[in-house]
A and B are shown apart, each in its own frame.
Chain A
Amino acid sequence: MLALCAIVAVASPQFLSVVNLQNVGRLVGTYGIFSIGVGFVIITGGIDLSVGSICALLGVLLSMMLVDWNWPPAVALAAVVALGGAFGAVHGLLITRLGLQPFIVTLCGLLLYRGAARYIADDSTKGFGTGTGFEWARALASGSVAGVPMPFVMMCIVAAIAWVLLHRSVYGRHLFAVGHNPEAARYSGVGTRTVVAWAYVLSGALAAVSAVVLAFYTNSISPASHGNFYELYAIAAAVVGGCSLRGGEGTVLGIVLGAALLQVLRNLVNLLDIPGSLDFAVMGAVILIGAVADQLFGRRMRRAGA
């Protein structure tokens, strides 16, 4: 990761400019937050494809709550995060209680929330315009502290909490146990279904936090494309960061670095005047090369190089 930054910095001195770093930091923060949530789900051996659509739907709702319905911003923010958590809870319950496959449940979520967002917004772009009364909320989501963009700060806070949760708490241990061997975990008295369901709740809630940040930052939410492919960024970040899609493996630090790597790559495409249309292709190629190298040279490389 550091090596990549160094390469980029050498190739394009612009990378180190304050504006560019702030920009990258904001993106890393936004993507990092929901990637952590998806990472939790991936550690259970599941997958969450719905985060992009949740971002879109909640972004639309947030703008309507603040601008159209004049809700107090505190209430609106709480409602958005609660809704995200609720969506996750529904996924989690469908998966653990009815035994549906995570891919299918969250794929339906992806379609449902996207459709709902477009319908509610009449397929028109939403924003906050010059609305007033929620300046502090806007500052919280898109301002900066001592030059560090808020999303990055928030990601650091989220990551710190997630790190304690995943690597130091009873819940985190249970999460790994379920991901590695759900049978043995169940035989050991771990409430496997509850543990898995909560991972989806976390993923939904963190997607909601990202939705708030993203909505204020872009200030224009076109429901058909807002948050498109975010679920894939999140999965890619988690996998690049050392999560196994088979479950049971992953670290918060890895996921964050994975998310950062992807954004730096995009930035590189931008700065090096590689045609923007190629940015997905570059990302795909880098991830693929990484996965192949990992397979060939073993785990150790990944841990050292993450």
Chain B
Amino acid sequence: MSAISKRFPGVVALDRVDLEVAAGEIVGLVGENGAGKSTLMKILAGVHRADGGVVAIDGEPAVFREPADAARLGIAVIHQELELVDTLDAAGNVFLGREPHRGGPLRLLDRRRMEADTGRQLARIGAQIPPRTILRRLSTAQQQLVAIARALSMNARLLVLDEPTARLGASDAARLHAVLRDLQATGAAIVYISHRLREIEALADRAAVLRDGRNAGVLPRGEITRDRLVQLMVGRAIASNPEPRPRASAGVGPEATRPGAAPRLQVDRVRTGRYPAIEVSLTAHAGEVLGIAGLIGAGRSELAEAICGVGSRQAGRILLDGEALAIHSARDAIRAGICLVPEDRRRRGVIGAMSVRENLTLPALGTYARFGVVKRAAEARAADEIARALTVKASSIDAAVATLSGGNQQKVVLGKWLALGPRAIIFDEPTQGVDVGAKAEIHRLVRRLADDGAAVVMISSDMDEIVAESDRVAVMHHGRITGILARAACTPESIMRLAVA
């Protein structure tokens, strides 16, 4: 692939990126969240079309109009969330969409051939899975092997694996790596995307690093070390270390220093559904912005949801001002004064078909009602006030939220909670998909909430945002808090080091 560019509305996802993979080679592809790895691979798989640049296979320029074109040329992408059908058996999945049939008007499935071929491909990668096993009954690692067998049966010569070990244990990961080395020996080209830099070190012949949609560098086998990779991944941030944010006022700092005061929000040995074996403890003080950094899948959102009562909390306590709370639902958390600005804005943050007014007043509607009947004037006034305070840009407060831009939708989510005067508020990726102007406004609001005395927790994958907006940063990796950095110690490098294995 050479000089590949791709623009999405508002962002340049890829800017003249080159990537080369030779037959019999494993290339590690790394980069921060949003560096452009997935976009690049989607172009390779024919899901997106590049705006510029050339993809060449064996020296021949290739044009992909749809995923089937890529498949025909021997390119197979295995995504992190495996695109397999749970309820079909292994053979059914391997041949999904190109089932052999025995001809005739009924086009009956040629089960015998499907099973024989599947067995052959699975044997080739040393997987002992009967072709008739229903996929659901297989472990994640085994399902992954089925996906690889599917790729092989399509005569894939270039295999792309996106975070293949994200949900695997150490021994399963090692087995997968052995399979990949065997395939490499038979001449397959492999692109291996992973946040686990240790694996890149161990496996890759070369490592390509992307940063902000550009090539940040390629390391040959001998030079692949975690330190070098981290440097290349965050390089930009070192060059332009953001200005330290001026404190609102000298006296209104985090109250951590005040002796005897219980922290505003205390998370005590909480286990989440995603990492049920790991206990997480955290504290956030009134007036402070606590950043939570980490890579996707580190368990940050799960932690936030467990605190706010919307996700599963297997064990542990949530304390507010030293008082343990019984939180079993979002309602309980909201009543106690803990609010969540969720990551998936469209699905969880707003009700797109309802108006700005209705969204803004939803959690506190009861306060504008008498005997359960909403006082419309009071409601409209309150909504109007919030919308104005947050400078929500909408044609009117009765416009459907779905018609607003991402940044303005996010302000609506935030506005919902403002009326309640939250004591602790958690932001999950508050500025994802938000344009630059709205981003600055949201940052101001985050800070204002803290200055007004709330404990603010901000989960973000945007390194600049974390470094610039947080008073302290907790870093998570695979469900664990791997370190808490004081403001002075926060640099993109120190954070990235804690975020990768």
- Chain A residues at the B interface, C-beta cutoff of 8 Å: 164, 168-171, 173-174, 176-177, 180-181, 183-191, 248-249
Q: Mark B324-366, 1 if CB is under 8 A from A, else 0.
A: 0000011101110000101000011111111000100011011
How far, in angstroms, from A186 to B369 measured CA to CA in the complex?
20
When the two chains form their complex, are residues A188 and B362 in contact, meaning their CB atoms are under 8 A apart?
yes
When the two chains form their complex, are residues A170 and B365 in contact, meaning their CB atoms are under 8 A apart?
yes
Q: State which residues 294-349 of B face A: CB under 8 Å.
A: 310, 329-331, 333-335, 340, 342, 347-349
16 contacts between A and B (CB under 8 A): A168-B374, A173-B365, A173-B374, A174-B362, A176-B354, A177-B354, A177-B358, A180-B354, A181-B352, A183-B347, A184-B348, A187-B340, A187-B342, A187-B349, A189-B331, A190-B331
Nearest Cβ in chain A — how far from B33, in angstroms? 23
When the two chains form their complex, are residues B330 and A248 in contact, meaning their CB atoms are under 8 A apart?
no
Nearest Cβ in chain A — how far from B427, in angstroms? 13
Is B105 located at the chain interface by the 8 A CB criterion?
A: no
When the two chains form their complex, are residues A184 and B350 in contact, meaning their CB atoms are under 8 A apart?
yes
When the two chains form their complex, are residues B351 and A173 in contact, meaning their CB atoms are under 8 A apart?
no
Is B373 located at the chain interface by the 8 A CB criterion?
A: yes
Q: B373 contacts which chain A residues (CB < 8 A)?
A: 164, 168-170
Is B372 located at the chain interface by the 8 A CB criterion?
A: yes
How far, in angstroms, from A190 to B347 measured CA to CA in the complex?
15
Is B416 located at the chain interface by the 8 A CB criterion?
A: yes
Nearest Cβ in chain A — how far from B372, in angstroms? 5
Partner of A185, one of B334, B351, B366, B374: B351
When the two chains form their complex, are residues A171 and B330 in contact, meaning their CB atoms are under 8 A apart?
no
Q: How many pairs of residues, A versus B, come closer than 8 Å at their CB atoms?
A: 73
Partner of A184, one of B331, B349, B365, B376: B349
Q: B333 contacts which chain A residues (CB < 8 A)?
A: 189
Nearest Cβ in chain B — how far from A34, in angstroms? 23
Q: A181-B351, A248-B353 are in contact. Are A187 and B310 (CB under 8 A)?
A: yes
When the two chains form their complex, are residues B330 and A187 in contact, meaning their CB atoms are under 8 A apart?
yes
Closest residue of chain B to A191 (Cβ to Cβ) is B331
Q: A180 contacts which chain B residues (CB < 8 A)?
A: 351-354
Nearest Cβ in chain B — how far from A300, in angstroms? 15
Closest residue of chain A to B349 (Cβ to Cβ) is A184
Nearest Cβ in chain A — how far from B318, in angstroms? 16
Q: B331 contacts which chain A residues (CB < 8 A)?
A: 189-191
Closest residue of chain B to A249 (Cβ to Cβ) is B353
- Residues of B within 8 A of A (CB-CB), count: 28
How far, in angstroms, from A168 to B378 measured CA to CA in the complex?
13
When the two chains form their complex, are residues A169 and B369 in contact, meaning their CB atoms are under 8 A apart?
yes
Q: B310 contacts which chain A residues (CB < 8 A)?
A: 186-187
Most buried by B among A174, A187, A249: A187
Nearest Cβ in chain A — how far from B403, in angstroms? 15
When the two chains form their complex, are residues B351 and A177 in contact, meaning their CB atoms are under 8 A apart?
yes
Closest residue of chain A to B339 (Cβ to Cβ) is A189
Nearest Cβ in chain A — how far from B418, in angstroms? 13
When the two chains form their complex, are residues A169 and B374 in contact, meaning their CB atoms are under 8 A apart?
yes
- Kindly list 11 other residue pairs between chains A and B, CB separation below 8 angstroms, not including A170-B374, A181-B352: A173-B365, A176-B358, A181-B350, A184-B349, A187-B340, A188-B330, A188-B363, A189-B333, A189-B335, A191-B331, A249-B353
How far, in angstroms, from A215 to B334 measured CA to CA in the complex?
47
Q: B369 contacts which chain A residues (CB < 8 A)?
A: 169-170
When the two chains form their complex, are residues A171 and B372 in contact, meaning their CB atoms are under 8 A apart?
yes
Closest residue of chain B to A187 (Cβ to Cβ) is B348
Q: A248 contacts which chain B residues (CB < 8 A)?
A: 353
How far, in angstroms, from A153 to B290 measured CA to CA in the complex?
61
Q: B372 contacts which chain A residues (CB < 8 A)?
A: 169-171
Partner of B347, one of A184, A191, A249: A184
The 9 residue pairs across chains A and B that have the minimum distance between CB atoms = A189-B334, A181-B351, A189-B331, A188-B362, A189-B363, A187-B348, A180-B351, A188-B363, A170-B365
Partner of A181, one of B334, B347, B365, B416: B347
Nearest Cβ in chain B — how far from A118, in angstroms? 39
How far, in angstroms, from A177 to B350 measured CA to CA in the complex?
10
How far, in angstroms, from A171 to B416 measured CA to CA in the complex?
18
Closest residue of chain B to A178 (Cβ to Cβ) is B351
Q: B358 contacts which chain A residues (CB < 8 A)?
A: 173, 176-177
When the two chains form their complex, are residues A183 and B348 in contact, meaning their CB atoms are under 8 A apart?
yes
How far, in angstroms, from A180 to B351 measured CA to CA in the complex?
7
Q: State which residues 352-402 of B face A: CB under 8 Å.
A: 352-354, 358, 362-363, 365-366, 369, 372-374, 376
Most buried by B among A180, A188, A249: A188
Q: A168 contacts which chain B residues (CB < 8 A)?
A: 373-374, 376
Nearest Cβ in chain B — how far from A303, in angstroms? 15
How far, in angstroms, from A189 to B373 measured CA to CA in the complex?
18
Nearest Cβ in chain B — how far from A196, in angstroms? 14
How far, in angstroms, from A8 to B500 measured CA to CA in the complex?
75
How far, in angstroms, from A183 to B342 measured CA to CA in the complex?
11
Most buried by A among B351, B352, B372: B351
How far, in angstroms, from A186 to B358 measured CA to CA in the complex?
15
How far, in angstroms, from A189 to B369 measured CA to CA in the complex?
17
How far, in angstroms, from A178 to B351 measured CA to CA in the complex?
9
How far, in angstroms, from A249 to B353 measured CA to CA in the complex?
10
Q: A173 contacts which chain B residues (CB < 8 A)?
A: 358, 362, 365, 374
How far, in angstroms, from A38 to B449 measured CA to CA in the complex?
44
Nearest Cβ in chain B — how far from A287, in angstroms? 24
How far, in angstroms, from A185 to B358 measured CA to CA in the complex?
11
Q: A186 contacts which chain B residues (CB < 8 A)?
A: 310, 329-330
How far, in angstroms, from A189 to B336 measured CA to CA in the complex?
11
How far, in angstroms, from A62 to B362 measured CA to CA in the complex?
41
Nearest Cβ in chain A — how far from B426, in angstroms? 12
Q: B351 contacts which chain A residues (CB < 8 A)?
A: 177, 180-181, 184-185
Most buried by B among A164, A174, A185, A249: A185
Q: A171 contacts which chain B residues (CB < 8 A)?
A: 372
